[in-house]
A = this chain, B = another copy of it.
Amino acid sequence: MRSAGADQDLTAAARIRDAAIRRFATQGFTASVRQIAADAEVSPGLVIHHFGTKDRLREVCDAHVSDQIRVAKTEVLTAADPGMFLSALAAVTDYAPLAGYVVRSLVAGGDLAARFIEHMVDDVRTYLQEAEAAGTVRPSRDPEARARYLALQGLGLLLMQINLSGGVEKATDLAAVLTAVTAWTTLPALEIFTEGLLTDNTLLSGYLAHVGGNTPARTPSSDQEEQR
């Protein structure tokens, strides 16, 4: 397998990049160049020599994490549940820094975060489409909005819980938090998803009547394509 306490057999630039990803994941993007250099057993100057700037180092890290995620994703067989994916990612201790890095990116709100979320929404949408075709999921009046809603909601819940339990801190804890939150979350989620929350549809029909002729809202949707 790749990297198992591997330190020496990597080029210095790669060691710096990996150390940076680890530091960024555990301490956030305020981690200093000197700390990263120390982790990579290298002088601070070399970091700049190879990457030019701390910001450019971060860009390289973003790109690398993005690649790693794409690889891991195909390995994990495209899990569509937003939580499940991060959880599976964090489970393999090798990939734990990746999950931490993504979490940091999400709260920091950079380019990587936007891309990650968009992919997540895409995954959820296709998953819902397939499940709907299979007859296990109800059709929606606005499938795009529903996919986005479910993805953002799940990721948001996760993030919320993560940096409430004392920040991202140690990477190993991340997996624990992820499984814990899915543990107490599944019951209410399943309840609402199968039985709903409200007893009647006065609110929904009221809302539908209210927006009747108007544009529903954002997100390119297809109004109602099937009535069934």
- A→B interface (CB under 8 Å): 30, 106-109, 113-114, 117, 135-138, 140-142, 145-146, 148-150, 152-161, 163-164, 166-167, 180, 183-201, 203-204, 207, 211, 216-219
Q: With A113-B164, A191-B204 in contact, is A159–B157 under 8 Å at CB?
A: no
Residue of A108, A113, A149, A150 ringed by the most chain B CB atoms within 10 A: A149
A194 engages B191 (CB within 8 Å)? no
Nearest neighbor of A128 in chain B, beta-carbon distance = B197
For A156, what are the chain B residues with a Cβ–Cβ distance below 8 Å? 152-153, 155-160
Q: Across the two chains, which residue of chain B brings its CB closest to A182?
A: B217
Query: Which residues on B sit within 8 Å (CB–CB) of A189?
Result: 149
* The one of B107, B136, B157, B200 that contacts A149, using a Cβ cutoff of 8 Å: B157
User: Are A109 and B167 also in contact (CB < 8 A) when A183-B218, A192-B196, A197-B138 are?
Assistant: yes
Q: Which residues of the partner chain B approach A146 to less than 8 Å between Cβ atoms?
A: 188, 191-192
> How far does the alpha carbon of A52 sit from the alpha carbon of B107 in the complex, in Å?
30
Given the complex, which residues of B lie within 8 Å of A194, measured CB to CB? 196-198, 200-201, 203-204
A27 to chain B, nearest CB (A): 14
Q: Please, which residues of chain B bring their CB within 8 A of the CB of A201?
A: 194-195
Q: Is the pair A219, B184 in contact by a Cβ cutoff of 8 Å? A: yes
